[in-house]
Amino acid sequence: MSARLDVKKTYKLYIGGKFPRSESGRYLPAKSPAGEHLDNFAHASRKDFRDAVVAARSAVDGWGKATAYNRGQILYRAAEMLQNRANELVNEIARSTGVSTAKAKREVTLAIDRLVHFAGWTDKYPQVFGSVNPVASSHFNFTTPEPTGVVVVLAPDEPSLLALVSLVAPVILSGNAAIVVASEKFPLPAATFAEILATSDLPGGVVNILTGKRAELVSHIASHMDVNAIVDGIGDSEISAKLQAGVATNLKRYSNHSLAAADWFAAKVEDPYWILDTVEFKTAWHPIGV
């Protein structure tokens, strides 16, 4: 009996709720720590990044205007879908990164819990961080947080899934849309997570996931005029310097949330102040009726 070759899965990009191939036609092999060829993944280009920005910008208006309750329910649904495919993700993380099944299971469980945690903040952060301000006139003065718009999130290599979820959830819960540059070393858990999001209630374009080589996208991320903020979880000083050098072109916000791999498993990553990195505060005056 002749031997047969496995058909390797080829993961595509996730842009605007769809799975397009990279416009460049380039793909890269995903390999295990032992060098085994696992699957293939799309190598995102500058054009793919621009397409993701367009998709994110198109999604911001509807997502930002959705009620806080609705956004919370949708994030909770995403956690539910993630739990439904937990075993698949455990296997993906274990074979991609070489960690034990027990550690991979812990990572997936915490990713589910993080989504649930931040889903609960959608209708609470405006009350916690907003205010009614005292003024020396017959007016009410309210300060409320609002989404900043399109946010690029750069996820670290380890932990490939938990860090991505921990960075993205506080960005989108307020009404922002995110473009995620996934782990370059371990992209398959992120690509599987994209398939989970596509089957959840999250509107297309709210989260867009790109895989490939970060170095090819960094300068375009930093200079793109329709990106409002960058959340950097990589911890690479060279990439960080390039991003910060470019943010002045349109006054993008830059937030550094890089942590040691073990720290992503700690409770401090659930810090609600991370939400404030991608919101703007709007103050409104209203006369007091007589």
Each domain of the chain, given as residue ranges in start order, spans: 10-287
Residue 271 to residue 274: CA distance in whole angstroms: 6
What is the pLDDT, as a whole number, of residue 144?
A: 86
Place of tokens 């080829």: 10
Q: Which of 217, 221, 169, 171 is nearest to 193 (CA)?
A: 169
- Over the stretch 167-196, which tens digit does the pLDDT of each residue have? 999 999 999 999 999 999 999 999 999 999
The CATH class, in words, for 10-287 is: alpha beta
Residue 180 to residue 161: CA distance in whole angstroms: 12
Residue 82 to residue 63: CA distance in whole angstroms: 21
251 torsion bin: left (phi>0), alpha (psi -120 to 50), beta (else): left
What is the pLDDT, as a whole number, of residue 137?
A: 82
Residue 51 buriedness (CB in 10 A; 0-12 / 13-18 / 19+): buried
DSSP per residue, 206-249: SEEEE-S-GGGTHHHHHH-TT--EEEE-S--HHHHHHHHHHGGG
Residue 15 to residue 178: CA distance in whole angstroms: 10
Residue 205 buriedness (CB in 10 A; 0-12 / 13-18 / 19+): buried
Cα 16 to chain centroid distance, Å, stands at 14
- Over the stretch 99-121, which tens digit does the pLDDT of each residue have? 999 999 999 999 999 999 999 99
Q: Helix 188-198 and helix 162-172: axis angle, to 10°?
A: 40
What is the pLDDT, as a whole number, of residue 131?
A: 79
SS3 of residue 14 by DSSP: strand
Residue 49 to residue 153: CA distance in whole angstroms: 12
Residue 39 to residue 93: CA distance in whole angstroms: 13
Residue 85 to residue 87: CA distance in whole angstroms: 6
What is the pLDDT, as a whole number, of residue 246?
A: 85
Backbone angles phi, psi at 257, to 5 degrees: -120, 35
Regions of the chain short of the pLDDT cut 50: none
What is the pLDDT, as a whole number, of residue 247?
A: 82
